[in-house]
Structure 1
Amino acid sequence: MRTEPFAEDELSFDAFLGGRLQIAQPKTGYRAGVDPVLLAASVPARAGQTLLDLGCGSGIAALCVMARVPGVMAAGLEVQPAYATLARRNSATNGLALDVTEGDIADMPATLRARQFDHVIANPPYFDRLHSTAAEDAGRERAMGEALPLADWVRAAARRTLSGGTVTFIQRAERLPDLLTPMAAHLGSIEVLPLIPRRGRAARLILVRGRKGGRAAPRLHDGWLLHAGENHGQDGEDYTAATSDVLRNAAALPFPA
């Protein structure tokens, strides 16, 4: 748990969405990559709707949604005070009014318990520490090592979602069973979109969406291809054109119709 604010020399300042966002994040500790950007791009938000990012970190996922869809009103919940401070800073730097609350999903602050949202997103810790090694940095470990079961994340997300609204998670593919069971209990119309690193390779990450009150049958979609070519055979990035459009031009990453 990182409580003390980061000093300036502990931070890097990174461009996201082709420079549309300038994000301060720690040089060591939890650093966002493409995962929260892909999560944000998948949210079917419209202007005037509301969004909650559970475990918002430095605010990247919520801010990416707000940058892509002007008029979305977003809130974030973050347990680590240092990262919550960064999220507020990044909100102000980019002129986007992200409402950040410090608190734990397991004991959600009353200000958020009183609200519901059109969309709830989460990029929860990926690793079950019963089967993996903890990170040395305390802030990174809190972000990456599971302290709260995924079922509790799903339950909290569903409670904060309006009828007809969506809950979307990004998670490692091997954790899919841990998501599906609680999502089936609290949500409907569940959809799974594998994120394929390269053609012919197994998905490492998945996007999983459910709808509050949804009645459609579960759907397993064809995967979204992240990289072109069978191998990384060039200097620099080799994202597919569609993925590059998401990462650089704030394009949507829609689930197949």
Structure 2
Amino acid sequence: MRDSAPVSRGSEAANWALQITPYLWASGLRGEVAPFRAGPTVGVSKSFGDVLDTLNFGGFLHVWHRNGRFVASADAMLVDTTESRAIERVPIFGPVRGLSAKADTREINATLQAGYRIVETAPFTLDLLAGARLWKVSTKVTVSYGNFAVSLRESLDWVDPVIGLRAFYGLTDRLSIQAQGDIGGFGVGSRLTWQVVATANYVLTDRLSLSAGYKILKTDYRSGGQVFDTTLQGPVAGLTYRF
């Protein structure tokens, strides 16, 4: 799970660690989006159920590595959706029949960070991180009328610098809590981006752990008429394998 790989006190204290966590994120979506430079800005408000209805594929993976006090993490997500609807009325022309539109959207982002463990006292650790969040949002809209169809495709690509912290506290040998947050953009890519994730973690075996918590990712990107001002938030759950 993103930034919430559960670990025991013993593995936190070890000199070397590698954790791989595939996870689920039951996220809703709200905000404003204008993927086409010449198009309007559209308000979006979708629950996780709404997103699930249009989902073709969703994948989330987090990797955490530590060597001594040096740490690194990579978190990636890919979400592919398709939304179709009939168009019953067209401005100027009025009501129409047989006209429909389909929007295919693919969102990819990856957050890559490296840093240093500035506090290491059993059972608490604190890591200082810095890196970048990479975004690619591709949209294809197809309008169909009978056997005739026309498509328009465009994408948004940008990179945000980010800085952040990761805190871990071991409650027992098996149970822990963890929180990580970052902030960035600063006008380099987006105007502002930030995210926070907090989880409770339980060690099942020497290699496997479970996590559950909540994650929020906010981004405000505007450039050349394109807008991606969104908030993704919802529960997360993951299974971590430790090497």
The question of a shared fold, defined as TM-score above 0.5 by the shorter chain, is answered with no
Q: Which has the higher strand share?
A: 2
Q: Which has the higher helix share?
A: 1
TM-score, normalised via structure 1 length = 0.22
